[in-house]
């Protein structure tokens, strides 16, 4: 299978940048929470977690670091390089589209789930919550744009 074009449209570059910026922010935030699970480095009191299953920020920080940090960074790399790896392709529900495209959708969904669960557990507390919710929606929207989808759609190459 071969992609139908090698020229990245603007929407693909935008998507890669959105994923990188999301990932960098979450790596910083998650890493800070891992380094100081008491929340002092981010000026977040542990009392915010009183109605949650967590006693400190170590697990939330690790989840943020991994699913909203590392994962979007990996998605950005995959969107850029379009590597031919079999294992992610086995998980891809969209067989005619490169798995990186599905990974981008999942990264957008991950940040939306993260923020939704955060607001449900600790409530609304910062302008960053709607900002990152919107960021996830934008990632999904840009992923679904026709130019982006077309760029990652695979065509079967037939030898004549």
pLDDT of residue 5: 55
How does pLDDT run across 56-101, given as a tens digit for each residue?
A: 999 999 999 999 999 999 999 999 999 988 999 899 999 999 999 9
Q: How far apart are CA 26 and CA 34, in angstroms?
A: 12
Of 157, 152, 159, nearest in space to 5 by CA: 152
Nearest to 98 by CA among 28, 155, 159: 155
pLDDT surpassing 60 at residue 47: yes
Work out the percent of the chain whose per-residue pLDDT is above 70: 93
Rounded to the nearest angstrom, the gap between the alpha carbon of residue 74 and the centroid of all alpha carbons in its chain is: 9
The dihedral of CA 19, 111, 123, 48: what is its sign?
Answer: negative
Give me the phi and psi of 117, to 5 degrees please: -65, -40
Over residues 90-118, the mean pLDDT reads 96
Best CA proximity match to 51, nearest among 119, 114, 113, 126: 119
How far apart are alpha carbons 11 and 14 in whole angstroms?
Answer: 5
pLDDT (tens digit, 9 = 90+) per residue, 120-144? 999 998 999 999 999 999 999 999 9
**In the predicted model, is pLDDT for residue 104 greater than 50?**
yes
């Amino acid at each position: 299978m071969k992609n139908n074009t090698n020229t990245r449209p603007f929407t693909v570059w935008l998507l890669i940048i959105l994923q990188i910026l999301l990932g960098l922010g979450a790596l910083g935030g998650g890493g800070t929470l891992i380094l100081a699970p008491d929340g002092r480095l981010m000026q977040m009191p542990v009392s915010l977690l009183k109605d949650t299953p967590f006693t400190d920020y170590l697990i939330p920080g690790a989840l943020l670091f991994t699913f909203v940090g590392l994962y979007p960074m990996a998605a950005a790399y995959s969107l850029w390089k379009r590597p031919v790896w079999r294992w992610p392709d086995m998980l891809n529900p969209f067989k005619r589209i490169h798995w990186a495209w599905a990974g981008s959708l999942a990264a957008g969904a991950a940040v939306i789930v993260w923020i939704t669960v955060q607001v449900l557990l600790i409530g609304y507390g910062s302008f960053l919550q709607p900002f990152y919710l919107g960021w996830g929606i934008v990632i999904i929207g840009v992923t679904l744009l026709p130019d982006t989808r077309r760029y990652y759609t695979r065509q079967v190459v037939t030898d004549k």
